[in-house]
Every structure is written in structure tokens, then in C-alpha cells.
Structure 1
Amino acid sequence: MIKFLLMVNKQGQTRLSKYYEAVDLGKRAALEADVVRGCLARRKEECSFVEYKDYKLVYRQYAALFIVVGVTENENELSIYELVHNFVEVLDKYFSRVVSIMFNLDKVHIILDEMILNGHIVETNKNRILAPLLALDKMTES
């Protein structure tokens, strides 16, 4: 099960966080700081799977952006690794520029909600994931 997803820049600043279980705000800040510090300190040739407390962390780096997913021990790391790549492909398909992502976090959350529900992967088809957003865009244009 997916517990959380973080998008973090190279400076360690969290740009987006989505939690699929209740975590106190104070604990979130400490958790994010530890997770980010641990992932950013790793070299490129090291494995993208890290054990951290009760979680397994799966992360991928895209340019200056890291996407980190915290999962339970029984989750398949490779499926989460591919989910992260699929998520990035969906973002790339919808947004013309990377900068647009940071100014449209509400739409990024919609994309995540279409892909992951209550910590479980529910959709991976890019067209089905983007359908609600494209319908919203069409409504706002009218």
C-alpha cells in the first residue's frame, strides 16, 4: 500500500505532498526532512529503493525534481517505480512546461487522485487519467 508521495526539488524543498494515511503535521515535516535528506544524499549509481523505518522508499529523479513514494513492506517496488514514471509521463502529456506544474498543483492532485485511491493504484491508462481534466478544461473554455 502507498503511504505517501512527495515531489521535492534538489534543494530539498517539498513541492507537493500527498498522504494516504493520517500523519500529524509536526510529524510530516520531520518525516519529509528525513526522507528527502536520505534520498538526496544517495548517488545516481545506487539503488532507488531504500528502507526507512516502517516504510520502503521508492524514488526517481527527473532533472532537478525527485519523486519519492513511501510504501509498506509488502508492496512491489518495481511496480511503484513504474508508477512514478507513468505519473511523470501523464504530467508531461498534460503540461507543456515543467514550470506549469508548480502553478497548477490542484491539477496535479487531480491526476494523482485518478491514479491512486486510498493508497492503491487504480488507473494507469494515460487517456483515462487525463479525461476528467480535459473535460474540466473544455467546460472552462465554454
Structure 2
Amino acid sequence: MIKGIIIVNNSGQARICKFFQQVHREGYSPEEAQQSVVQQVYKQVSERPDSFCNYLEGSIMQWGDATKLIYRHYATLYFVFAVDKLESDLGILDLIQVFVEALDKCFENVCELDLIFHSDKVHYILDEIVMAGMVLETNIVTILSGVNDQTKLHQKSTSKLNEALGKATSTKMGSPGVR
């Protein structure tokens, strides 16, 4: 099972975080516990030389010793999947590759700013691939089709909302000079 997906930049700033298993830490709020996990994950993966493998077994305090970190470092971003020991290392590496390729196709040469300014779309893509810690889809064509459908639905609902707001505003304000 996938326990969490964390994307951080080279400075340790979280860009996308999705937790599928709750993290708890004595004396900390849930948000503080998640921030602690992000800091621990960043510290562990950033200190490893690029020549080392992309699998890291160790202890993330809040998830226990049965957690593996599988990650890829692309340009300025670390894509980290925290998984239990039963998950296939190569399977998760392939899943990261599918995720990055989907991002690249959606944003044309994806960069860190795309993750910041289009986080909703990034979450759509991630939701097409992983839901509740389980892998749903790995076929990139199917993933992109689902994301495109969601984007069209969002655009349609936004245009209807804007149209309704425009009508409400013009009705409320009334015509100039009419009392």
C-alpha cells in the first residue's frame, strides 16, 4: 500500500503532499505531524548521492519501520512515494515515471511552477493514478483521458457559474435611471 506521496523541491519546500495513511506524533497536531514527515523524508532523500539507488528503507517515525521510500530526482524536484515493504520497488519507480510523463504531457515540459500554480490539475492526475493508497491506472492514455474529461467538466461548470453571476449582478443592479 502507498502510505503517502510527497513532492518537494531541492530546498525542502513541499509542492504536493498526499497522505493515504494518517500520521500521528505525540503532542503535535495532524498538520504538524505531516510537516514533520515531509521534513524527515526530504532530509533522508536529499542527503543521498545521486549514484545511490532510489530505494530507502528506514524509519519514518510516524509510519514505523515497515516503510520504504522510493523516489526519483528530476531537475529541482524529488518525487517520493512512501510505501509498505510489500510493494514492488521497481513497480513504484515505474509508477513515478508514469506520473511524471502524465504531468509532462499535460503541461508540456512540466516544471516546479506548474505544480504550484496548477495544483488542482496535478491532484486530478494523481487521483487518476492512485486512490486511497492503491494503484488505479498505469496506462498514460487512459490517465490523460480522465484528466481531460475532468478539465472539460470544470471549465463547463465555471462558465455556467460565471454566466449565472453575470445575470445576478445585472438584475441586482438594475438599469441605470430606472427606479
- What runs of 5+ residues in structure 1 fail to find an aligned partner? none
1:69 partner SS: strand
| CA distance in structure 1 between the aligned counterparts of 2:34 and 2:150, rounded to whole angstroms | 31
| CA distance in structure 2 between the aligned counterparts of 1:38 and 1:138, rounded to whole angstroms | 39
Q: Do structure 1's residue 81 and structure 2's residue 93 form an aligned pair? A: yes
Length-normalised TM-score, structure 1: 0.93
**Larger Cα Rg: Structure 1 or Structure 2?**
2
- What runs of 5+ residues in structure 2 fail to find an aligned partner? 24-29, 60-64, 160-179
Q: Percent identity?
A: 37
| CA distance in structure 2 between the aligned counterparts of 1:134 and 1:127, rounded to whole angstroms | 10
The alignment of Structure 1 onto Structure 2 pairs a total of residues equal to: 142
Contact 2:15 2:115 in 1 (8 A): no
Q: Do structure 1's residue 70 and structure 2's residue 76 form an aligned pair? A: no
Which residue of 1 is the match for residue 53 of structure 2? 47
Greater RCO, 1 or 2 (C-alpha within 8 Å, sep 6+): 1
The structure 2 residue matched to 1:105, chosen from 119, 126, 148, is 119
| CA distance in structure 1 between the aligned counterparts of 2:97 and 2:51, rounded to whole angstroms | 18
Cα offset, 1:76, TM superposition:
0.7
Length-normalised TM-score, structure 2: 0.75
- Tell me the C-alpha RMSD between the 2 structures: 1.5
Alpha-carbon deviations, 1:81-132, whole Å to 9, x = none? 1100110000000112423232110111111111011111110111211223
Contact 1:95 1:101 in 2 (8 A): no
